[in-house]
Structure 1
């Protein structure tokens, strides 16, 4: 698992948007080989989406051959409601880029058979060969998508009852009226997210500092479902300084030192986008110029 720390929300958004842009570019998607991207809603990804739109408008990225799957949707909220996640995604991203509408997959919270809708969603992911990169945000209690504390780490897309704390948190989007907030949602499961070939999680703000600490410094725990990322072979968390407030100082220094070594000693040109070392030619060249020690 990698942890990238940036100064603030804007820098986190900039880093993640550029990361997604580069992943799409390097993948070189086409009509027979689309880039499959999992996406979240909520306040966390808005900055990323804004930057992705800018990158698209400047010709640096295209969504023509990108297929998307959204994490969740409220049950019973009309699709065209201003607070539905369908409306959120079109308002903040899809209507501003060249994605093909048929490549957008969002759960239908008004389906006549909700369980069947969830099964169809999982089948659709399988049909396109799985998700290449799943982007996610978390709640202050460490939930990813609507996988509230206590959710099974092997869970799949399903109907979920929202925790009271989540309902209270989401009331700000419904005029502060708890009664207006849907109490059920359709959500991908923890295993659905972790099955992606890469998982990138955004964690910003001091109010999510405890969740980050639980995720980074403690074990995998279904009470903090984001902690499942510890088991992922290509998990990346991008956070701001405020989110590190509950981490031990040595933990912060450790992850910052890793990035320092990558860029200062190994060199960014010798690293793959996902953090793997491609080559050490430059490093070895430097080593070869050092004076040799005479043998005794």
Structure 2
């Protein structure tokens, strides 16, 4: 696990540079797209590189991490619509190239199985963007989630719903109680994981992720077992890291050819 501590604006550029390198070297790459606040700077930077430097996503496939259950197809906070607004409509993905789990399906377990099959059918995800919740969840794998879980329906904790209420006008009652989410084992199957976190509110979760024991109580800690994880954090999110100075020294001394 590589930990990079840098100013907030730099984190988005670093993640976007990793995506750009992958897509230019492998034009038919498969990306994993996250929602929430953490990846927005990445999407802004990718859209800029598309517009100004010709970065093309024409052959790229992309899969979303999760989706609310029951939100209307035209609801602005339905994650498929959020991804369309924040990145898909701003670059040149081909029609149908971005997929998400079907939170409106009449057969939710079947929709989850179909989503797993769709990811497997393209050879898996090459680079997965991630955020982390204040309680250590990744995607919507809440505390207590099986470390071997696959795409499934989950009940959201009150903490997660409170954290997400800002997207629903501050009204907790409008935040769905259920979602479909890639499982932890699904996420771990991606070849490169890039996790972004900013702000002091994420500091304890980042500390557990990087330096705590692997535990279902902090689901993100399973990432410690992945062979290629990049954790991008600002100073505030890194404030609980006991080895923060070492991470800074390590990144400063890193050979340029290694990339992320």
- Could you say which TM-score interval applies, normalised by the shorter chain? over 0.9
Q: Show the counterpart of 1:145.
A: 139
Task: Quote the offset at 1:219 in angstroms.
Answer: 1.5
Q: Show the counterpart of 2:249.
A: 257
Task: Quote the offset at 1:245 in angstroms.
Answer: 0.9
The answer to whether 1:123 aligns with 2:109 is: no
Q: Distance in 2 between matches of 1:218 and 1:254?
A: 16
The answer to whether 1:179 aligns with 2:173 is: yes
Kept in 2: contact 1:203–1:240 (CA 8 A): yes
Q: Give 2:223's match in structure 1, choosing from 226, 229, 237.
A: 229
Q: Distance in 1 between matches of 2:164 and 2:210?
A: 26
SS at match of 1:55: helix
Counting only pairs closer than 5 Å after superposition, residues 72-111 of structure 1 correspond to structure 2 as: 72-111=66-105
TM-score under structure 2 length normalisation? 0.97
Q: Show the counterpart of 1:3.
A: 3
Q: Show the counterpart of 1:21.
A: 20
Map Cα deviations across residues 114-164 of structure 1 (whole Å, 9 max, x no partner): 000000000001100111111110111110000001101100000000001
RMSD, aligned α-carbons:
1.1
Q: Distance in 2 between matches of 1:61 and 1:113?
A: 38
Q: Distance in 2 between matches of 1:168 and 1:253?
A: 33
Q: Distance in 1 between matches of 2:216 and 2:54?
A: 39
Aligned length: 260
Runs of 4+ with deviation above 6 angstroms: none
TM-score under structure 1 length normalisation? 0.86
> Which runs of 5 or more structure 2 residues have no equivalent in the other structure?
none
The answer to whether 1:272 aligns with 2:258 is: yes
Task: Quote the offset at 1:203 in angstroms.
Answer: 1.2
Q: Give 2:194's match in structure 1, choosing from 187, 190, 200.
A: 200
> Which runs of 5 or more structure 1 residues have no equivalent in the other structure?
275-296
Task: Quote the offset at 1:272 in angstroms.
Answer: 2.9
Task: Quote the offset at 1:235 in angstroms.
Answer: 1.0
Map Cα deviations across residues 243-270 of structure 1 (whole Å, 9 max, x no partner): 111112xx111111112222xxxx41xx
Task: Quote the offset at 1:54 in angstroms.
Answer: 0.3
Task: Quote the offset at 1:221 in angstroms.
Answer: 1.1
Query: 1 or 2 for the larger relative contact order (CA 8 Å, sep ≥6)?
Result: 2
Q: Distance in 1 between matches of 2:108 and 2:251?
A: 44
Going from structure 1 to structure 2, the CA distance change for 1:60 and 1:273 (only over 3 Å counts) comes to farther
Task: Quote the offset at 1:26 in angstroms.
Answer: 2.1
